[in-house]
Each structure stands twice: as C-alpha cells, then as structure tokens.
Chain A
C-alpha cells in the first residue's frame, strides 16, 4: 500500500519535473542563435517526450505506449541526422561524404 503510494507520488513529481524541462527546452528552441541550436532543442524535446510517454505508460498501465516511445526514439534519431545533412548541404552545396579528403581514402591511389 505505502509502496504504491510512493510510486504514484514519484510519478506526479517526475511529470512536474519533465514539464518544467519541456518549458526550458522550448525557450532554447525559440532563442537559439543558430539553426543547429534549434536542432539540439528539437532533439531534446523528442527525448523529453520519450520520458513523458514512459511515465504515462506507468501511470495508466498501458504497455502499448512503450512501443510508441521506441518508435519516437527512431523518428527523433532519423530527423536529427536528416537535419544535420540539411545543414551541410545548405552551407556548402555538397555532401560531407564527397569532400576531397574522404574521396582520397577510397580513391584510385
């Protein structure tokens, strides 16, 4: 009984702390001086959403929510990589992997 009570109190506390963290991450998302700062904030928002989904899964007892957390993890990873590629392509007009140094490694000599 009391263990159950402790668990529910810590669920509430974790939700409050994560909500505060979400607000701070959104402040960085709005303020970020460069595009890369905003990408960092977006990545952090995805991570915080995974934590929130985990706490919610424990609260409501629906283990299907964990599948959503794993899928969100995958989507966050892919979107961060895509945005990093976009930054490189926008800046130099070509891909990082076609730079002369990396061509030489697998090149003719």
Chain B
C-alpha cells in the first residue's frame, strides 16, 4: 500500500512538473499576449494541482492531505478569474491581438471610445 502510493505520487510529481514546463514553453513561444495567457492559466490548476495532489497522496496524514486539497481548490477557483481579468484589462488598454486571430467578441469595446 505504501509502496503503491509512492509510485503514484512520483508519477503525479513528474506529470505536474512536465505540465508546468510545457506551459512555460508556451508562454515563451506563443505569438501574442492572449495565447500566452491561455498557456499560463493552465500551469496553475493542472501543473501545481498535480504536484499538490502528489503531496496529498504521499503524506498519509489527514491534516497534510487536507491542506494540499485546499490549495488545489484555491488554484482552481482563482486562476480563471485572474486570467479573465488580465485579458480584459489588456484588451481594453489596446494590447493588439495577433494577426491570426479570427474571432473577436470584444471588437466594439474600447476604453477610449466608450
């Protein structure tokens, strides 16, 4: 049982770290702010979430597991709100989307015009 939980926890650690690294490469390589924000918002709930889940599994202690799960819940609650607010603020302050962007629902909303 302890053996199995060690294997599962190690696998989750590697998955979480790999996901964080992938998201960071996305932030480094994507063409404009909005695609970068899309990549960065995934690193929180999935990357750090898997690492905290690994801690919760390996700990074998109710208090530690509860703390890790509270951390995951907090990440899932806050990451979309922060990403949405930052994308809206960036758009309203005239940060241009990439030329490949096809759909733009905020086309008529400008801080300077309205």
Interface residues of A, dominant DSSP: helix
Given A3-B6, A70-B74, answer yes or no on A40-B92 (Cβ-Cβ < 8 Å): no
- Identify which of B2, B40, B71 contacts A73 (C-beta below 8 A): B71
Categorize the interface residue count of chain A: 35 or more
Closest CB of chain A to B70's CB: distance in Å? 6
Given A17-B21, A44-B43, A77-B78, answer yes or no on A54-B52 (Cβ-Cβ < 8 Å): yes
Q: Which residues of A contact B (CB under 8 A)?
A: 2-4, 6-7, 9-11, 13-15, 17-18, 20-22, 24-25, 27-28, 34, 36-37, 39-41, 43-44, 47-48, 50-51, 54-55, 57-58, 63, 66-67, 69-70, 73-74, 76-77, 80-81, 83-85, 87-88, 90-92, 96, 99-101
